[in-house]
Amino acid sequence: MHPTLLIGPSDWKPERMPKAEFLCRIDELWQSCPDASRALVYGNPRHHAELAYLTNFIPKLEPAVALLSRSDQPRLFVGGGANMLGAARPLTWIQDIVPLKELEGLRSSDCVLIGGEYMSASLRRIIGDAPDVTPQVWAQMRHKSSAELAAMREACITLSAAIVAIADAKQAGASVTTAILAGERAANDHGAQDVRTLFSLNGGRTLQPFDTLFERAVDPLQVYIAVRIFNYWAESFALLSERVCPAAEKADALLRAVLPMIKPGTSTSIVSDLVAVECAPYQCHPVTKGALANSIGLALEETAHTNLLATFEAGEVYAVKIGLTDSADQHAIASAMIALRRQGSEVLWSSESLTRTN
């Protein structure tokens, strides 16, 4: 059962993401859309990466639309009526905030549209046939600034706290439910806006979310956890076990081998082909097959909104995943978060180091 508010604390923190950061992003948008005078940016509680990127605003209950202009001050149209205006103000640097219904009658002939694929049909009719430039915005989003990297490092710190809490609870003999909830609680204590978890009851062969309570302990325990803080995501897979797991050792070894290979311009196929060959006697796990790496940031999966990830690029942050299985009783998924620079990469988080100490 989902909570009423899908997103937790998300106030704009100018010391973390200054207004100048957003203004630079908007300037870059105008450079990629030289014929546009204005831009309409849509977001809702489930799909809002573009809106957060340009305004910091994340809708809590109903949609919102930002109107950006080359010549006028930006305006934010917020759903939910006048009562929501006060609650919206701390979430964004934009000062002019009005009800969403005031979009009616807006002239959109000189506008481009961002995030339009998630709009309702009725709202799309109001806005009209503005050209969609969402791919250009996602191309911008893939290259992380220093402020964004700082936010993602904080997300990785929160991720580490959550994984360690799960490992500690498991080692103390806790049930699956108690262990996973310990991780979620630790993430929330660190100020996470959102926490998502999956776990395995069959040694890592399959993963599932909570649909009921599981009052038994399992070993090994394969977990997936994603946390969001300051609007940015970090995610991980980790196999937690009190005994030697050959598949986990192999996955860790492959993770150590592939991370130095990931450099700007490196083809993703070269790395994935190596994993396919070197994973013997295991096969690639169904969860990670064909999904070696993806860009991550304001969305868990940024690559899906741009061209298919073909080469690794400097400036991006990647989630790298190695999953192995023997289709019997050996399964494991290991992962890392890396920031790729021209001079090398920085490992922001790795399940391989956790496995060594667990």
Domains and CATH numbers, the chain: 19-141 (3.40.350.10), 146-357 (3.90.230.10)
Rounded CA-CA distance 231/17 in Å is 10
Q: Per-residue pLDDT for 358 more than 50?
A: no
Contact 350, 328 (CB under 8 A): no
Q: Which phi and psi angles does 188 have, rounded to 5°? A: -65, -40
The model's pLDDT over 3-59, given as tens digits with 9 standing for 90+, comes to 556 677 889 999 999 999 999 999 999 999 998 999 999 999 989 999 999 999 999
Rounded CA-CA distance 231/188 in Å is 14
Residue 349, C-beta contacts closer than 8 angstroms, at least 6 positions apart: 156, 159, 160, 234, 236, 336, 337
The model's pLDDT over 108-140, given as tens digits with 9 standing for 90+, comes to 778 999 998 898 888 888 887 889 999 999 999
The residue ranking higher by pLDDT, 38 or 302, is: 38
Residue 98, C-beta contacts closer than 8 angstroms, at least 6 positions apart: 75, 76, 77, 78, 85
Contact 152, 170 (CB under 8 A): no
What angle in degrees, to the nearest 10, is found between the helix axes of 246-258 and 268-278? 150
CA 68 to chain centre: 25
Q: What was the pLDDT predicted at 1?
A: 45
> Is residue 139 classed exposed, middle or buried when 0-12, 13-18 and 19+ CB atoms within 10 A define those classes?
middle
Q: What was the pLDDT predicted at 214?
A: 92
- Band (343; pLDDT cuts 50, 70, 90): confident
Rounded CA-CA distance 95/74 in Å is 8
Q: What was the pLDDT predicted at 342?
A: 86
Least confident stretch, 88-92, 127-131, 148-152, 293-297: 127-131
- Band (83; pLDDT cuts 50, 70, 90): confident
CA dihedral 122, 126, 129, 135 (to 10 degrees): -70
Q: What was the pLDDT predicted at 357?
A: 42
